[in-house]
Every structure is written in C-alpha cells, then in structure tokens.
Amino acid sequence: MHKPTLKERLKNGETVFGTWNSIASSSLVNVIGCSGIDFLVIDAEHGPINMESAENLIRAAELSGTAAIIRVSDDSSCKTLRALDIGAHGVQVPHVSTKAQAEQVVKNSKYHPLGDRGFSPFTRAGKYGLQANEHTKRSNENTMVVINVEGLEGVENLPGIAEVEGIDVIFIGPYDLSQSLGKPGDVEDIQVIDNIKKCVKICKDKDLACGSFARDLKYLDILLDCGVQYITYSVDSAILRETYKGLYETFNEKRKARAGE
C-alpha cells in the first residue's frame, strides 16, 4: 500500500509537523523519527552539519519513514545539488526575496526539462546507477522545493514568487520578518501575525503550502489559526535542553519539599 509522501500530503491540504535537526547524531534522528513526527529539517546553514554527516542523518530518518529536508546554507546550485544527490527528500533554501531568485532555486533543484540540475546517476539518490533511466523522472516528481522568505522585501514580492512553477512550500521566517518590521524578536506582534496571514492567503490562492516556525506551543496555536500547513517546531537541541531543565527543576522541588527547605 502506497504511503503518501510529505509532498503529496501537503498537496492534499494536510497540515504537517516537523522540527529542526541541528545535532549531527544519527541516533538522535532515529529517536526523533520514532516519535512519529512527519519530517525533519536538517540544518546545514547553522551549526556543524556537513554533507557527509547529513547523508547519515537522512539514512537514520528513513529508518522510521520520516521525510528529511536539508536547509542549505545559500541558494547556490552546488549546495542544492549536493543535498539532493545524497538523498534528501527536498531542499529548503534561505533568504529568497525575489521571483528571479525563486526561479533559480527551482532550476537548481530540477532536471531537464524543468530545470538544469547537474546530472549524475551514480549517487545515493540515483541508486548508484542502478536506476539511471528513472532517476530524473522520479526526482522531478518527488523532490520538495521549499523557499524561505525571511523579510519584508520577500513578503512584498510574494505574489510574484508564488507564481513560480515547481515550488511546494513558501516558508515565512517570523524572526527575520519581525526585525524587518522594526519589531525584532517580537514574533507575536500583530504586524508579524497579519503578514503571516497575508502570506498564507497568497500561497493558498496559488495552491501552495505556507510554512513557518513555532518556538513553543503558544506560537504553534497561532500558526495553526493562521492556516500554516508546514510547521517546524523548535530545534532538537532546545527541546532537549528545555526537557531536561524542566525535569531537573521538578526534581529539585521534590527534593527541597522532602528536606523541609
């Protein structure tokens, strides 16, 4: 029985839930995947993750059937090519502000006739040459293209960006957006929320999914109310820290209560 891909689920109007992976540990990725989470964004922009470690992280995600997207460090064709060749299910490209940039991202991500991605079937994505004839067709159909719009310029250009064929998700970075609106860090400011709602409407009108980042459960509710479909929740390192911090604080309260402090 065919299990719908992340791309298919978004096209069907589903809302999906993921998190950011910043720790280069395949064991951790496997644990996160076993939670049932829909997808991971492997962060190759910030932190220590390189393409060699990312390949192992993708393998670990696939063990639990979790989609693995790689956020590349910039919009260069080389970065996108390497991320897709190691088997990423999609790329997430930062700092896209214009229609021309978005068009180039798609070209970098797709093979002819949809783009001009460099072609080698002798990669993990190409099954090391075993399915060379099917590789380009399968990749063009299945590869997810996510672009990050991270400022007011991108939001203002969104109607044009959303017209670009081949984009699956437009991801709004709330922190960069808050800064460009003169409200740095205040992602709950009404102007930030209104702009996210505006982006969701533009995306839906073009049959695209809108994505964004939830720092906590309160902001998760805000994004769900806005109609955001592709939600990344916090970062693995922050979730671990907060979880253990909460456990330790609870332990200290119980210890002090028993000691009469």
Distance CA 16, CA 71 (A): 17
The radius of gyration computed from the CA coordinates of the chain, to the nearest angstrom, equals: 19
Nearest alpha carbon to residue 187 among 199, 175, 204, 170: 175
Q: Residue 149 half-sphere exposure, CB side, CA atoms within 13 Å?
A: 29
Q: What's the pLDDT at 86?
A: 98
- The distance between the two most distant Cα atoms of the chain, rounded to a whole number of Å, is 73
The runs of H, that is alpha helices, within 99-235 are 99-109, 132-142, 152-156, 158-161, 174-180, 190-205, 217-226
The per-type count for the chain, helices as H runs and strands as E runs, is 12, 8
Q: What's the pLDDT at 260?
A: 83
Whole-structure pTM value: 0.95
96-128 confidence digits (pLDDT tens): 999 999 999 999 999 999 999 999 999 999 999
Amino acid identity, position 5? T
- Sorted by where each starts, the structural domains of the chain and their CATH numbers stand as 6-259 (3.20.20.60)
> Given a cut of 90, is residue 44 above it in pLDDT?
yes
Distance CA 64, CA 33 (A): 5
Q: What's the pLDDT at 152?
A: 92
> Given a cut of 90, is residue 221 above it in pLDDT?
yes
183-194 confidence digits (pLDDT tens): 999 999 999 999
Give the CA angle between residues 136, 137, 139 to the nearest 5°: 65
Distances (CA, A) of 77 to 116, 118, 119, 136, 250: 9, 9, 12, 17, 49
Partners of residue 1 on adjacent β-strands = none
Query: What's the rounded mean pLDDT across residues 22-41?
Result: 98
User: Which segments within 1-50 are labelled E, that is strand?
Assistant: 16-21, 39-43
User: Which segments within the chain are labelled E, that is strand?
Assistant: 16-21, 39-43, 67-71, 90-93, 144-149, 169-172, 209-214, 230-235
Distance CA 212, CA 223 (A): 7
Reported confidence tier of residue 181, pLDDT bands at 50, 70, 90: very high
